[in-house]
Amino acid sequence: MRPLTVAVPKGRVLTQLTPLLEQAGIDTVPLFADDRRLIKETNLGLRFLLLKPDDVPTYVEYGAADLGVSGRDVLLERLYDLYQPLDLRIGRCRMVVAGRAATPTPAVPRVGTKYPRVATEHFASRGVHAEVIFLQSSVELAPLLGLCDVIVDIVETGGTLRDNGLVIHEEICPISSVVIANRAEFKLRRAEVEPILAALRRAVEVRASGT
Ligand code: PRP
């Protein structure tokens, strides 16, 4: 049987995930080895895949990875069939509607966002039919140039909004990173998965209690 395979996002969240993995007894040194290998073998019979955040749920849903770590923003935007057994309480931020302070939002607002489904559903839940414009990055730029009236995006420190003269109009939901699991593999490999999850759960609790 192949080693238990865990898909994790490269970048900011990996930095926050590393101490939790270490606390759970997982050697993270191979994850940061100075090579171009995309599969990183480590202890406890585990191997890690380092992926772009948006790709992690896809690998897990199709069973190419058994477990993964994903932001709830990615999970909210696309409808994956995944089990979410543990909130890691890292990668914490908020999904918000933001825009210029003084500009009233028109009846049919134009909304710039990386999260078209979240944005459409949010405005629809308020009875507003928004015109949603998909943007890949630097979403804060769009209202400054009149491309849209407001944006729907994630805010962590608030620095990007502030530095671009934008303010939060409304909070949609809190976001954090969670463990995701392939439903079938979770059942088939439960004996291997449960101890890893239990160790991670303890690591999250230790971090939360500051001990
Ligand atoms: C994210 C998000 C905001 C920013 C918020 O973008 O889309 O632009 O971080 O963080 P802050 O509240 O701490 O300023 P990211 O840095 O991932 O880059 P991107 O614009 O290329 O998506």
Whether the CB of 138 sits within 6 Å of ligand 1? yes
Cα 112 to middle of ligand 1, angstroms: 14
User: 205 CA distance to ligand 1 centroid (A)?
Assistant: 28
What is the CA(148)–ligand 1 centre distance, in A? 18
Nearest-atom number in ligand 1 for the CA of 156 is 12
Q: What is the pTM of this model?
A: 0.93
- Reading the chain (211 residues) residue by residue, the pLDDT tens digits are 889 999 999 989 999 999 999 999 999 999 999 888 889 999 999 999 999 999 999 999 999 999 999 999 999 999 899 999 999 999 999 999 999 987 788 999 999 999 999 999 999 999 999 999 999 999 999 999 999 999 999 999 999 999 999 999 999 999 999 999 999 999 999 999 999 999 999 999 999 898 6
What pLDDT does residue 211 have? 62
Distance between CA 149 and CA 113 in Å, rounded?
A: 11
Strand partners, 102: none
Q: Is 156 in the pocket of ligand 1 (CB under 6 A)?
A: yes
Does 136 contact ligand 1 (Cβ within 6 A)? no
Q: Could you tell me how far CA 113 lies from the centroid of its own chain?
A: 15
Here the tokens at position 180 are 């995701």
pLDDT for position 103: 75
Instruction: Return the structure tokens found at 116.
Output: 């078209």
